[in-house]
Structure formats: structure tokens, C-alpha cells
């Protein structure tokens, strides 16, 4: 399954415009089997030059870049955590994603109604943050009685209860779960099981007016919440994507004429990777050289599960080489001969650029 990013924000901030631009990129997703999933789910390729280097060694039939799945989630309104509007549906869609891109309206347009009647990025970020926090607090309120019961039955469960209570305090003081100072890996796992919405990494996207894009990009934009937003004009990106589908050269000329080197979508793909703590590992065989997206810190069986759930369930080991070694030793045979092919087990934490071959036992029955 591809890594999935939910596009969230208030209504009329440019989410669907950005989504359409992302999924319209010419040539990228076209030959990918999962490119069209649902009307509001689309897959986008992540450019990576290392794929070509691996292909020069392996000579595969095809190269498949990492895909990031974007989900255009319905606009959120105040009270969503109580089920207002499309509230519940909205929140459950977010729960299924690995990370959030939050589109924030900076553009001014009398013809496009703002739900709160004025353009105010800080207020809007606050509104969404509050809804997500309240939804998480509701999740904890439901979980605590269950954890209490479990702790009474089995004292070993007490630490899970205490972790949840500490998280409740943290959220109650207005902090997102993402910034919670985990005391241990065990606590991280216990709290992960709650699937809190504010635990997901967020990338803020400032959707600005086309005519101020260049000037805003040349200055450092003001941080919203903990970090500065990625500046984009969703409308410009939509126009560029449409133009590029017909004539890539003309699209490039339009970019140049605005003094820009690359489209906002390419910046978004790279920034999303960086800010969301994502990385790639590779598989390289005669059929295909392929990049897969995982979060930093993921272990080998979970990485295998990105390829196929059976790989995770039946995981035995992963034959692993760093990208640099794979290139230096000219591929698998060279690595084996030099004793540089590592046999990694369940606890191995996958590193960016690892070239991996998973061994697994087929599912029983």
C-alpha cells in the first residue's frame, strides 16, 4: 500500500484545486497501476535520481518511482468532532492517512466565500487544530475506561493506562500528540495504538494569490504553528498541470517567465518527504527497480508490509545493502562475493536508500 497523505483544511481554501493539479501531472502516474483509485484519491510519483543508478546495474524491464497517495478530504467545519457536517466521515478519512497536508487560505477573492468571512490564516489553523484535538480527547475518553478495566485484570497493563492519562493531560493543555515527549519506545507503541489524529505529521501549505507568489517565495514566510508553510498557488499549479499535459515545453516557459525554477508540486513532493520524516528503500531485480516510501524509524517487517501484507506476516529476514554499497559492488553478486550483503531480522530499522530483498514464508492455509 502506498503512503497516503490527507489534504485537509476549511472549505473553499483550494484543497480540490491542489488535488486536481497534483493528480494531473502529465506522464508521471499514467503507467502506474494504482494511479486512479477513487475520484478523491490519486497517486503521485516522487522524483529520485538514485533509481536510474540502480537501473544501470540491474537492467530491469521497468523503473517504478515511489508513489505518494493524496486523498482530497471534505472540508472541515467547526463541530466536526461532534459529527457536525461531514464531521465523522472527515475524521475517519484522516485517521486512515499517514500524514496531513493542511491547505491554508491566503488568497483574496471576493467571489470565493470564506466560511468565517475573512482571510485569517492563524485563526483557520487554530480552528482545525482545535477540532482535531477535541476529536483526540474524545478518543481518549472512550479508551480510558477500557484501559482501566484491562489494568484491573492485569497489572502489567497499568503502564498503558498511565500513558493514556499523560497524553490526555498533554492534549488538554493544547498540545498536539505529535509533539508529546515519549518516555520510552513502549509508551510510543501504547499510544500509537490509539491512532490519534494530532499524532500525524503536518505540512502546512499557504495557498497564495498568483500575483504575489514570486515575492512571497523570495521572503521567508511567517511560521503558522510550529513551522513555516510551503508557499504555493493552487490555481497556478492547476493551470500549469493542465498546460503540461498538452505541451510540457510551454508549461516550463510559463514557469520561467514567472522567475520560478520548478513547479510547486515538485517542491511539495520533496518538502513533504523531508518535513514528514519520510524516506525510501529500494527493491532491485530483473523485473523492476522500485522505490518504496516509509517513515523514518520503521522496522524491516513493516517495510516489507508496504510491498505486500504477506511479506510482513511471513517475514523471515531481509537481505540488505546500502545504496552506496550496492552501486560500489555492482549489485547483488558483487555484494555477496565481498560479504557485504547483510542479513537483517525483525528489529532492523530500515535506512534511507537501503536496497532490500525480503525472505518470507508463504501464508499457511
Ligand X SMILES: Nc1nc2c(ncn2[C@@H]2O[C@H](COP(=O)(O)OP(=O)(O)O)[C@@H](O)[C@H]2O)c(=O)[nH]1
- Minimum distance between the CB of residue 16 and Mg ion, rounded to whole angstroms? 3
Task: Check residue 17 for interaction with Mg ion (CB under 5 A).
Answer: no
6 binds ligand X (CB under 6 A): no
Q: Which stretch binds ligand X (CB under 6 A): 5-13, 93-101, 127-135, 175-183?
A: 5-13
Site string for ligand X, 105-124 (x = CB under 6 A): --x-x--x------------
Kindly state the DSSP code that residue 346 receives in the 8-state scheme: T
265 is written with which cell numbers? Answer: 508540486
| 23 binding Mg ion? (CB under 5 A) | no
> Is residue 17 involved in binding ligand X (CB under 6 A)?
yes
Q: Measure Cα distances from 107 to 202, 310, 340 in Å.
A: 21, 47, 54
Element (H, E) at 46: strand 41-46
Q: Which is nearer to Mg ion, 71 or 133 (CB)?
A: 71
The number of residues that bind ligand X (CB under 6 A) is: 17
How far apart are alpha carbons 327 and 331 in whole angstroms?
Answer: 6
Contact segment (CB under 6 A) with ligand X among 31-39, 52-60, 231-239, 324-332 equals 231-239
Task: Report the residue number, 113 or 359, with the smaller CB distance to ligand X.
Answer: 113
Stretch that binds ligand X, among 13-21, 89-97, 127-135, 296-304 (CB under 6 A): 13-21
Give me the least distance between CB of 26 and Mg ion, in Å please.
Answer: 22
The cell numbers describing 34, all together, are: 494504482
As measured in angstroms, the least distance from the Cβ of 205 to Mg ion is 14
The DSSP string of 189-258 is: HHHHTT--GGGS-EEEEEE--GGGHHHHHHS-PPPBTTBPPEEE-HHHHHHHHHHHHH-HHHHHHHHHHT
Q: Which does 112 bind (CB under 5 to 8 A by kind): Mg ion, ligand X, none?
A: ligand X
* Residue of 78, 82, 75, 85 whose CA lies nearest to 40: 75
Q: Pick from 24, 139, 233, 283 the residue near ligand X by CB under 6 A.
A: 233
Q: Report CA dihedral (134, 136, 141, 145) to the nearest 10 degrees.
A: 180
Is residue 97 at the binding interface for Mg ion, with CB under 5 A as the rule? no
Q: Is 143 in the site for ligand X (CB under 6 A)?
A: no
Residue 230 CB, nearest approach to ligand X (Å): 14
Residue from 4, 16, 23, 139 binding ligand X (CB under 6 A):
16
Q: Is 287 in the site for ligand X (CB under 6 A)?
A: no
In the Cβ-directed half-sphere of 249, how many Cα atoms lie within 13 Å?
Answer: 0
Cβ(205)–Cβ(124) below 8 Å:
no
Binder to Mg ion among 16, 127, 233, 279 (CB under 5 A)?
Answer: 16
Q: DSSP secondary-structure letter at 98?
A: S
* Binding-site member from 207, 279, 283, 293 for ligand X (CB under 6 A): 207
- 127 binding partner (options ligand X, Mg ion, none; Cβ < 5 to 8 Å by kind): none
Contact 234, 18 (CB under 8 A): yes
The entry of Mg ion, ligand X, none near residue 235 (CB within 5 to 8 angstroms by kind) is ligand X
Q: Considering only residues 12, 26, 129, 159, which one is a binding residue for ligand X as defined by CB under 6 A? A: 12
Tell me the CA distances in angstroms from 56 to 9, 59, 67, 321, 364, one per residue in order.
43, 6, 21, 17, 38
Q: At a CB cut-off of 8 Å and minimum separation 6, what does 72 contact? A: 7, 15, 16, 19, 40, 41, 42
Binding site for Mg ion (CB under 5 A): 15-16
Binding site for ligand X (CB under 6 A): 9, 11-17, 75, 107, 109, 112, 207, 209, 233-235
Amino acid at each position: 500500500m502506498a503512503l497516503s497523505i490527507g489534504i485537509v483544511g476549511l472549505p473553499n481554501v483550494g484543497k480540490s484545486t491542489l488535488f486536481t493539479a497534483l493528480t494531473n501531472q502529465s506522464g508521471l502516474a499514467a503507467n502506474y497501476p494504482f494511479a486512479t483509485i477513487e475520484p478523491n484519491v490519486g497517486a503521485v510519483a516522487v522524483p529520485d535520481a538514485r533509481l536510474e543508478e540502480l537501473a544501470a546495474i540491474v537492467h530491469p524491464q521497468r523503473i517504478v518511482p515511489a508513489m505518494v497517495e493524496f486523498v482530497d478530504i471534505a472540508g472541515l467545519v467547526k463541530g466536526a468532532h461532534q459529527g457536525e457536517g461531514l464531521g465523522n466521515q472527515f475524521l475517519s478519512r484522516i485517521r486512515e492517512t499517514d500524514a496531513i497536508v493542511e491547505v491554508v487560505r491566503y488568497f483574496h477573492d471576493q467571489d470565493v466565500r470564506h466560511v468565517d468571512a475573512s482571510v485569517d490564516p492563524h485563526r483557520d489553523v487554530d480552528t482545525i487544530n482545535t477540532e482535531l484535538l477535541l476529536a483526540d480527547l474524545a478518543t481518549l475518553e472512550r479508551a480510558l475506561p477500557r484501559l482501566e478495566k484491562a489494568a484491573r485484570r492485569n497489572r502489567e497493563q497499568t503502564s498503558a493506562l498511565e500513558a493514556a492519562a499523560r497524553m490526555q493531560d498533554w492534549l488538554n493543555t493544547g498540545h498536539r500528540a505529535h509533539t508529546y515527549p515519549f518516555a520510552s519506545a513502549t509508551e510510543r507503541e501504547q499510544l500509537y495504538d490509539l491512532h490519534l489524529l494530532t499524532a500525524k505529521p503536518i505540512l502546512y501549505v499557504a495557498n497564495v494569490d498568483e500575483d504575489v507568489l514570486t515575492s512571497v517565495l523570495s521572503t521567508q514566510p511567517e511560521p503558522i504553528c510550529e513551522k513555516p508553510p510551503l508557499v504555493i498557488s493552487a490555481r497556478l499549479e492547476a493551470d500549469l498541470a493542465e498546460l503540461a499535459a498538452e505541451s510540457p515545453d510551454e508549461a516550463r516557459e510559463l514557469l520561467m517567465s514567472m522567475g520560478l525554477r520548478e513547479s510547486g508540486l515538485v517542491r511539495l513532493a520533496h518538502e513533504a518527504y523531508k518535513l514528514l520524516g519520510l524516506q525510501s528503500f529500494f527493491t532491485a531485480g530483473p523485473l523492476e527497480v522500485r522505490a518504496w516510501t516509509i517513515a523514518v524509524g520503521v522496522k524491516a517487517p513493516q517495510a516489507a508490509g508496504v510491498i505486500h501484507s504477506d511479506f510482513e506476516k511471513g517475514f523471515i529476514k531481509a537481505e540488505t545493502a546500502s545504496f552506496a554499497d550496492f552501486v560500489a559492488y555492482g549489485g547483488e553478486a558483487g555484494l555477496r562475493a565481498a560479504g557485504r550483503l547483510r542479513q537483517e531480522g525483525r528489529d532492523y530499522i530500515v535506512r534511507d536508500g537501503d536496497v532490500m530483498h525480503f525472505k518470507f514464508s508463504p501464508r499457511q492455509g
